[in-house]
Amino acid sequence: MGAHPRGDAVIRDNRIPQKTLGQWIADNPACLGAKVKDTFQGQLPFLFKVLSVNTALSIQAHPNKELAAKLHAQFPEHYPDANHKPEMAIALTPFEGMCGFRPVEEIVSFLQTAEGKDTLGSNGDLLLRLHSQYPGDIGCFTIYFLNLVRLEPGEAMFLGANEPHAYLHGDCVEIMACSDNTVRAGLTPKFIDVLTLCEMLNYTPAPSSSKIFPAAQSQLDPHVYLYDPPVPDFTIMRIEIPASIKLYLISAMDSASILLVIQGTAVGTSTAAASEMSLQRGSVLFISANESISLHLSSPDGMLLFRACCLL
């Protein structure tokens, strides 16, 4: 969900002449909001995804802007743009991932043996699972070096530049800067760039608890929980509307945003839309800057929504 050239979102409203979101934004740049348009040169600065991870995704890291520009100039076939790619994953179900290097004492304890006994410990099942998914891939042993992070629904993990990580299992929404630059290390049949990865990685050890990114409840709306990372490209909101509320306003902001329905049903109305919008699980709306949407809820269980935006 976004306007990157390699995955431009398709517009499903047949009344709109543009066929993709990128075309719409190019023809209507004011929809981004004044600050976003000027700061990001008329481009939507984020990508929004839903991931359902059954097989571990590749061990990888993403370059900062300086390195991204260098890699794109040298190897455009592998690094298709010049942008950085910080990202955040928010769990929809119990979620497993690896993120950042473990404290040194943990790594040492995993690599030592005692009286000839196997020291796989609690990592044994995970090691066997990764080996069954990627037999012969040395990346399976990364669990000895990287933190294993387990998220409960609503918990998040932020991944800055040069942070080694991999998603192992579970469902999440993910938001990132508008880039497709990935430096891979293992658990993948795709291009692996060992030299670049070893030079770029952040090797600072830290405990797994430090990798969980907190959400802050909005002071303006108690139904909104804000995930606001230390990068300007994106912010994400988790909106939990209880069943007792039958009319809810998605407030206007000075940023384009993308709204995703995870749970519940409603009819949406706005001054910008020519007709009512029927919303249900999986519905996606692009909301122009300074536009609001009224939701007329029809679900007995309320609604769960995520809203991706850029709060400068």
DSSP assignments along 160-216, one per residue: -TT--EEEEEEEEEEEEES----EEEES-SS---HHHHHHH-------GGGGEEPPE
The pair phi, psi for residue 72, each rounded to 5°, is: -65, -40
Burial status of residue 111 (CB atoms within 10 A of its CB: 0-12, 13-18, 19 or more): exposed
Query: What number of residues does the chain have?
Result: 312
Whether 184 is catalytic? yes
Which residue in 102, 184, 238, 307 is the catalytic one?
184
Q: Which residues pair with 305 in a beta bridge?
A: 239, 261
Reading the block at residue 36, the tokens are: 């976003």
Strand order in the sheet with 303-309: 216-217, 224-227, 235-241, 303-309, 257-263, 284-287
Q: How many helices (H) and strands (E) does the chain have?
A: 6, 19
Query: Catalytic site residues?
Result: 184
